[in-house]
Amino acid sequence: MTRDDRQSKPLELYIHIPFCEKKCNYCDFLSFRALPQLHREYTKQLCREIRTAGRGMENYRVVTIFIGGGTPSVFEPVLIRQIMEAVGENFRVAPEAEVTIEVNPGTLLKNKLAVYRDCKINRLSIGLQSADNRELAWLGRIHSYEDFLKTFQYARMEGFSNISVDLMSGIPGQTFDSWKNTLKKVTMLKPEHISAYSLIVEEGTPFWEVYGPKAEGGKSGQGRTKDREGERPAAGWPALPDEDMEYKIYSFTRTYLAGQGYGRYEISNYSRPGWECRHNIGYWTEVPYLGLGLGASSYVMGCRFRNESDIESYMALDFSAGDGGETLEALHGPVQKLSREERMEEFMFLGLRMVQGVSELDFAAMFGVKLTSVYGPVLERLKKDGLVKQEGTRIALTEWGMDVSNFVLSEFLL
């Protein structure tokens, strides 16, 4: 590491690829289907944004890059190469940087993996969700478990030694046995990292029409949804697991993965020792991050902003005008400068997502006051209720606190 590297500040990059082959039934992310021509045009515009944004980041060292979506693996590999070249030319990327790309087994051809490796991408995040093909069909995924197996095997053959697998519980038709089977099949492959999230039914998705509060039958899953024309009801959907089953699945996941050598380091994330996702840890520990691409969010110098989310407006931006500063302002839109109190809140409810919790010493160094002077009564109450524990100067959620984390974290709002 050079002297300049030691003096520079760490920065994470998130690069958004908004395109998919098909929108999943549960997805509320900024993503949509597009023809290859728009893929190419979007890449050109994204590279223009990267070049312009890099001019103001000379004092930062990029420690992680995450290419997400959407489904980045829908792109032809040459487009990923162009994006990574633009990043390398316009940002100071640390040699040891963790560089992740999200991939869907239904879109990843073997030839793409070699290009990823050549572009210095060293981590794959594979969206499996379930090893049960019926469950995958209900989710609206375009791949099968067999497709996932091929993708995983190709990745290992290509030399990827850092692979994460995304799993989802609480999905339509899922049983305790099918979830156990999914965990068993995945851990047999020994990926370095596993993300195990529970389905959230989001407004504006097909699942909202079936399982949302206004759907006939609601949570029971007996409601029906209409087809696109709204002329006739669609076929019936299976029920979602009830709360007791979801908790059983949640508890089993923690115990089973621990027995397979996967330590839980965050509410929904597990890894083999030393393979935690550095990019996500950065989010939870206030490392600045810059979002590039349509709708990408950023947190830099205590400010939050989000890129333009309309594709036509994004594509119309002129990054060649002047030094590009005015275009970046138009791209970023309103900028929110976080107050001291808001930063304290985020320090707590982001940091407490991690099993190791937060440090009183870090809090004092960052804000100039003791953590107990701000949150003393809250901490005492949560400790008394068995939701928070303290070990030395670190404060963390207990297992019970993790189970009801949404409630506990809300207690730290000032």
Mean pLDDT to the nearest integer, 181-185: 98
* Kind and range of the H or E run holding 337: strand 336-337
Strands ordered across the beta sheet of 303-306:
263-266, 269-271, 193-198, 163-169, 123-129, 93-103, 60-69, 9-17, 289-292, 297-300, 303-306, 336-337
What is the CB neighbour count within 10 angstroms for residue 308?
A: 19
Strands ordered across the beta sheet of 358-359:
358-359, 394-397, 388-391
Give the residue among 20, 78, 84 at the shortest CA–CA distance from 50.
84
Residue 218 pLDDT: 44
Residue 232 pLDDT: 30
Least confident of 56-60, 353-357, 360-364: 56-60
Residue 310 pLDDT: 96
Write b or e for each residue in 363-398: b if 16 or more Cβ atoms lie within 10 A of its Cβ, otherwise e: beeebeeebeebbeebbeebeeeebbbeeeeebbbe
Greatest C-alpha distance within the chain = 67
Question: Structure tokens of 283?
Answer: 């989010």
User: What is the tens place of the pLDDT at every residue in 381-400?
Assistant: 999 999 999 999 999 999 99
Higher pLDDT, 210 or 132: 132
Residue 106 pLDDT: 84
User: What is the tens place of the pLDDT at every residue in 18-68?
Assistant: 999 989 989 988 999 999 999 999 999 999 999 999 998 999 999 999 999
Higher pLDDT, 224 or 97: 97
Q: Is the pLDDT of residue 13 over 80?
A: yes
Residue 224 pLDDT: 30
Residue 239 pLDDT: 87
User: What is the tens place of the pLDDT at every residue in 245-266?
Assistant: 999 999 999 999 999 999 999 9
Mean pLDDT to the nearest integer, 369-388: 96
Q: Is the pLDDT of residue 161 over 60?
A: yes
Q: Is the pLDDT of residue 234 over 50?
A: no
Cβ–Cβ < 8 Å for 117, 97: no
Q: Is the pLDDT of residue 360 over 50?
A: yes
Beta strand ranges found along 21-179 (DSSP E): 60-69, 93-103, 123-129, 163-169
Cβ–Cβ < 8 Å for 286, 346: yes
Q: Could you give all domains of the chain from N- to C-terminal order, each with its CATH number? A: 3-284 (3.20.20.70), 340-410 (1.10.10.10)
Instruction: Give the CA count within 13 Å in the CB-facing half-sphere of 179.
Output: 26
At 128, the amino acid letter reads: L
In the chain, % of residues over pLDDT 90: 82
User: What is the tens place of the pLDDT at every residue in 274-327?
Assistant: 999 999 999 999 999 999 999 999 999 899 999 999 999 999 999 998 888 899
Mean pLDDT to the nearest integer, 355-369: 96
pTM of model > 0.85 = yes
* Kind and range of the H or E run holding 358: strand 358-359
Residue 214 pLDDT: 65
